[in-house]
Chains A and B, each alone.
Chain A
């Protein structure tokens, strides 16, 4: 177990290196001069040259790449061109907000998925099952940013139940401002809508597989109703795949909610990366790709560990 964990952690090194190098190459090739974007159209050549020299953009490519890797090894992600702050700090703040959103969305979608599965499994093949199956499939097919716009129109602009945009001011945690609960609802629901479909189907399949096992039949023979047999016995054992998928969803949402974050003006990783790319804030985009890669690998690791712990077959 420990050895496998260590191997997985070591595997992170080539993965992070690959992501960092790919993004570095893309950003090296990207047209547009950060200095020009910051200083404006009327800036003179001398001003631009001074800014480029300060950022080391005037150095030859191998030297820039070498310096980038050396800094990466020291876990130094550099300083943002636009904000003048350490990239690590910028990303920490963005990651905290994105993690809260992703966790809320993953939890919501797990709940919705379980609810769908429980309802479907009462009468598999029945009308309700078919309807829920269609709804799940539809959820998977909806573009998240479009759902976000429509939810915003209905629940924020028209009904005014929720704030329109932003992360709000939640509690402080280790000096990091977390988003407000009230602001969290619409973005989390949006992401839950587009992820719960898959989860519902996996949960349904897992549940049905469990219900065909002898212990459920035995429980029913002892007089448990079908819903009770489903929830008390089958669901508990079907949690493995559900937790696995919810965890994977969480990992995916860390870097995959770019458009939704943009629509809701959610100050998280996705919006930071989009704005960094548009404003040619190269250190922020590079650092963001690295952090997201590492986070994704770590989340997958944690998910595997958790599902191993939840799988009754793997228990001693």
Chain B
């Protein structure tokens, strides 16, 4: 995939741009990591973080007399009732959302590649067993299970949420990977490799999985979008993240009563959420267009 290919797919380009900017902002928030309210010891060091983010997620502007303050030059989107800069908090939310979306998908993708690959390679009862397990996962009411699983823990960290989401998201990718690997197998290259003495692990890693990686990445990009949305609604309902992490879902829930009076408190995190998810969906779209020549043919044929 060359860079010039991106130009042919404006969707992929837009998606890549959005994802890149959100990732960049999220990376900046790392400098604030672990800083709790009013802690004067740890200030962000880099110039960019200081100017783009300006405030930590829990920094209060004590000069605000009657919070919540409206939009001003000092606070572009105003502050919330706790005198915290809204824009900074929305940007900090990007860090949490991305960490959950990407980490959960990394787990799901690894599991999916491993399980799908092994199923394709081994065949027989191993294949049957693993694919039944995948079918089972796909038939479960995952939103409900995620709610119940997370509720088991009385304090809910970012790690907990992404592990639960990751463990629930592998089945679709596993099926996809298995199909792709089987297709690659029938093309005969792996047989040749085996004839040359390659072991099973090597066979899987060097010959089968690369064939499956591209479509798996498309699915994973959609998966990241889905994970971000799931975390948001779980937190919105108070069943997801708790504690100090800044979640867009929680911000929206907190601002809901004030939607009619101070819509910015609710619209800003919602829009950030929508744009981030849009980025990953567009990226998945674009990747699919670029990677699947048949789909491109279909659009060009008409």
Q: Do A and B come from one complex?
A: yes
Chain A interface (Cβ < 8 Å from any Cβ of B):
11, 14-15, 18-19, 22-23, 26-27, 29-31, 124-125, 133, 137-138, 140-146, 149-150, 153, 157, 205, 208-209, 211-212, 255-256, 258-259, 262, 273-274, 277-278, 285, 288-289, 292-293, 296-297, 300
Chain B interface (Cβ < 8 Å from any Cβ of A):
11, 135-136, 139-141, 143-145, 147-149, 151-152, 154, 225, 229, 232-233, 236-239, 249, 252, 256, 259-260, 263, 266, 270, 273-275, 277-278, 281-282, 285, 298-299, 301-302
| Shortest Cβ gap from A307 to chain B (Å) | 17
Q: In the bound complex, do residue A292 and residue B141 qualify as a contact, i.e. CB atoms below 8 Å apart?
A: yes
Residues of chain B within 8 A of A133, CB atoms compared? 11
Contacts known (A15-B139, A141-B274); A274 close to B237, Cβ less than 8 A = yes
Nearest A residue (CB) for B277: A141
Residues of chain A within 8 A of B281, CB atoms compared? 137, 140-141
Contacts A/B (CB < 8 Å), 24 sampled: A18-B136, A19-B140, A29-B152, A31-B154, A137-B11, A137-B281, A137-B282, A141-B274, A142-B274, A142-B277, A143-B236, A143-B273, A145-B236, A146-B270, A146-B274, A149-B266, A208-B299, A211-B302, A212-B301, A258-B144, A259-B236, A259-B237, A285-B148, A289-B141
Nearest B residue (CB) for A289: B144
Q: In the bound complex, do residue B298 and residue A208 qualify as a contact, i.e. CB atoms below 8 Å apart?
A: yes
Q: In the bound complex, do residue A145 and residue B233 qualify as a contact, i.e. CB atoms below 8 Å apart?
A: yes
Q: In the bound complex, do residue A19 and residue B302 qualify as a contact, i.e. CB atoms below 8 Å apart?
A: no
| Shortest Cβ gap from A139 to chain B (Å) | 10
* Interface of B, helix, strand, loop or mixed by DSSP: helix
Q: In the bound complex, do residue A149 and residue B140 qualify as a contact, i.e. CB atoms below 8 Å apart?
A: no
User: Which residue of the partner chain, among B144, B252, B259, B282, contacts A153 with CB atoms under 8 Å?
Assistant: B259
Residues of chain A within 8 A of B225, CB atoms compared? 140-141
| Shortest Cβ gap from A212 to chain B (Å) | 6
What separation, in Å, do the CA atoms of A48 and B140 have in the docked complex? 34
Residues of chain B within 8 A of A205, CB atoms compared? 298
What separation, in Å, do the CA atoms of A145 and B233 have in the docked complex? 7
Residues of chain B within 8 A of A23, CB atoms compared? 144-145, 148
Q: In the bound complex, do residue B256 and residue A149 qualify as a contact, i.e. CB atoms below 8 Å apart?
A: yes
Known: A26-B149, A153-B259. 15 other contacts (CB 8 A): A30-B148, A124-B299, A125-B302, A138-B274, A141-B278, A141-B281, A143-B249, A146-B270, A209-B298, A212-B301, A258-B143, A258-B147, A259-B233, A277-B239, A293-B139
Q: In the bound complex, do residue B144 and residue A125 qualify as a contact, i.e. CB atoms below 8 Å apart?
A: no
Nearest B residue (CB) for A18: B136
User: Which residue of the partner chain, among B135, B136, B238, B274, contacts A143 with CB atoms under 8 Å?
Assistant: B274
Residues of chain A within 8 A of B301, CB atoms compared? 212
| Shortest Cβ gap from A202 to chain B (Å) | 12
Q: In the bound complex, do residue B147 and residue A277 qualify as a contact, i.e. CB atoms below 8 Å apart?
A: yes
Nearest A residue (CB) for B226: A140
| Shortest Cβ gap from A15 to chain B (Å) | 5
Q: In the bound complex, do residue A274 and residue B233 qualify as a contact, i.e. CB atoms below 8 Å apart?
A: no
Contacts known (A15-B140, A26-B151); A153 close to B145, Cβ less than 8 A = no
User: Which residue of the partner chain, among A11, A212, A274, contacts B239 with CB atoms under 8 Å?
Assistant: A274
Contacts known (A140-B281, A256-B143); A277 close to B151, Cβ less than 8 A = yes
What separation, in Å, do the CA atoms of A205 and B258 have in the docked complex? 42
Residues of chain B within 8 A of A143, CB atoms compared? 229, 232-233, 236, 249, 252, 270, 273-274, 277
